[in-house]
Amino acid sequence: MKHKVFIPIALSVSLLLGFDVQEMPSVQERVFPDIGQTKVYSFNSSIEEASKVVVNISTQKKIKNQMSNHPMFNDPFFQQFFGDFYNQIPREKVERSLGSGVIISNDGYIITNNHVIDGADKVIVSLPGSNKEYQAKVIGTDSRTDLAVIKIEEKNLPAVKFADSSLVKVGDLVFAIGNPFGVGETITQGIVSALNKNGIGINDYENFIQTDASINPGNSGGALVDSRGALIGINTAIISKSGGNQGIGFAIPSEMVKRIAKQLIENGTIRRGYLGVGIQDVSTDLRDTYGNHEGAVIISLEADSPAKKAGLAVWDLITKVNDRPIKSSAELRNLIGTMSPNEKVTLTYIRDKQEKTVTLTLAESKDTKGSSKANKKETNGTQGLDGVSVQELSPQIRQRNQIPRDIDGVLVNNVNEESKAYESGLRSGDIIGQIENITIKDLASYKKALEKFKGKSKRILVYSQNGIKTIVIK
């Protein structure tokens, strides 16, 4: 819940009412500059306040000298032979790293990247325009979003105001603010290049804002702000072969930052909401099925999960969460992952080309990643789909291929490389678990499904070595 009217009170008595952040009003319009011969187009007044909330973070980590662990290093003869040289060999060294952070409350809470402070024995914070150093306390970390909260003992600090990152548009003017030690405050300017970037392989939960504003390694944990100086993201990474800026930088959206920071400050750890579904994007083959709607296609449901109990089914297309549009499976995963257990959510979904809604209560994620493997071939099988040979999952096959008991279907022995099934992505070792609305448990149900949908385009749920997927065979 957002307490817009009582923000100063909420910040001053955070222990009583829970932590909250200061927020900017929603953007109402976007304007062109009004300039003339006696005017200079400048954002100095906009970013002046924002630059005061970005701090320098330096860390120290003690690393043991690997040589000191060698058996010879502790041998008396070795010590006597090398004498003074032996005593000069350091037993450990101090590794230092630098980064940036953003003050999010008047009483010293600071958000930064987890990788900036990960494993540090000491975290030192320097405020902009000051030589005074503060030893910070680590409040909580979340490696899966690469965010962390630290705190310094100081009052009446300037704090950043949060913008709603869901309202950011491609082409919006942005500024990347960092405070790498030795260089001081740095501000670079660019535009939003892309939104909702995922699959980069940096974090588990990825929903990045991409910008061409120069972001260099020392700026990790710094602020990405709009032309008002409002925070729209925390700078986290760059893509570069040289290590310097090449116009591709990523920031964690402010809405995700706000949710993670609030949980870390109030609980010291992250408890993630759990829906209990396996999901995928709407592939090109599936677009006609869902009337060109965007969203996340359900391809599996966990037993006793909130989704299962609420009556959701495989191939339902989730299009909204609490009326917020969902454009991809990554967006749904990120949104649910930043919600709290026991939080009620209303899902909008499409089933059989009809829009439906359901309200459910999220469970708590245990952050486990299931996998199913079925990668060995059997020699004999039964023909069904053209060019596809399958076999029932006997106890021996399950044991041999380590197939979980909760996975039913038929095992694909062989797929002709010239068949439509192969073109659609079906491979040897896959398990066919469902064809349209028919669950496949054995060869009989497999044949029944193929007979029912003979000559028609059909969705097929497949368990593969790389996870669960939906293929369409026409």
For the annotated catalytic residues, the residue numbers are 115, 146, 220
For 4, the 3-state DSSP assignment is: coil
DSSP letter string over 376-445?
---S--EE-STTEEEEE--HHHHHHHT--TT--SEEEEEE-TTSHHHHHT--TT-EEEEETTEE--SHHH
Give the whole-angstrom CA distance, residue 433 versus residue 410.
7
d(CA 127, CA 142): 24
SS3 assignment for 14-68: HHHHCCCCCECCCCCCCCCCCCCCCCCCCCHHHHHHHHCCEEEEEEEEEEECHHH
Instruction: With H, G, I as helix, E, B as strand and everything else as coil, classify residue 94.
Output: strand
What is d(CA 223, CA 103) in angstroms, rounded to the nearest whole number?
A: 10
C-alpha torsion sign, points 208, 211, 213, 214: positive
- CA geometry: angle 290, 296, 297, nearest 5 deg: 60
Structure tokens at 208: 């990045």
Q: Which of 216, 221, 243, 218 is nearest to 233 (CA)?
A: 221
